[in-house]
Amino acid sequence: MPDAAHAGAADVVACKEITAEKDRLACFDRTIGGLAEDLKKSDGFSLFGLFGNGGKATADKDFGAGKGTPAVPGGEVPAVTQITAKLASIGFGADGKPIFVLDNGQVWRSQEPAKIRLNGDGSDQATVKRSMLGLGYLMRVNDLGYDVSVTRER
């Protein structure tokens, strides 16, 4: 991490130690204002210099795994917004909810009971995309008319 990022993080932590509520709030406001300015001036680094693309997945293998690509100064890295892969198998957890294994090695668990219709000929495809609000992931199998809420297991 860049030195400025360490300094910014240290300033935030120092504010937490202030016991007087009004002074603590003023410290946070001042510190966050400085971090916001640093971010505007930065070369593609996001908060604390961790990810240049806001931590978005930039490779299919990272999609849904909470991984981003390290910042590249001045670089613009396109984010992966969905993946499509062949469905290798479907199992069921102890809770009766489906577990999907894709041919790329990813494993996704349904967050809800779901009935999935398969072609049965090995041509089954799954498309995983971010939910509309970006708070989770949705899977559609064989382009049927509905999506299933999923989380990535592996």
Q: Which residues pair with 99 in a beta bridge?
A: 91, 109
Average pLDDT value over all residues in the chain: 74
Sign of the C-alpha dihedral computed for residues 52, 54, 57 and 58 taken in this order: negative
Q: What is the pLDDT of residue 101?
A: 92
Q: Positive or negative, the Cα torsion across 84, 89, 93, 97?
A: positive
As a whole number of angstroms, the distance between CA 95 and CA 149 comes to 15
Residues 6+ away with beta carbon under 8 Å from 43: 71, 73, 74
Pick the more confident residue, 10 or 25: 25
Check residue 121 and give its pLDDT.
Answer: 86
Q: What is the pLDDT of residues 62-120, one digit of tens each?
A: 666 665 544 445 555 557 788 999 998 888 888 889 899 999 999 999 998 888 788 87
**CA 54, CA 96: separation in Å to the nearest integer?**
35
Indicate if the pLDDT at residue 42 is higher than 50: no
3-state secondary structure 87-133: EEEEEECCCCCEEEEECCCCEEEECCCCCCCCCCCCCCEEEEEECCC
Query: What's the residue count for the chain?
Result: 154
pLDDT at 125: 92
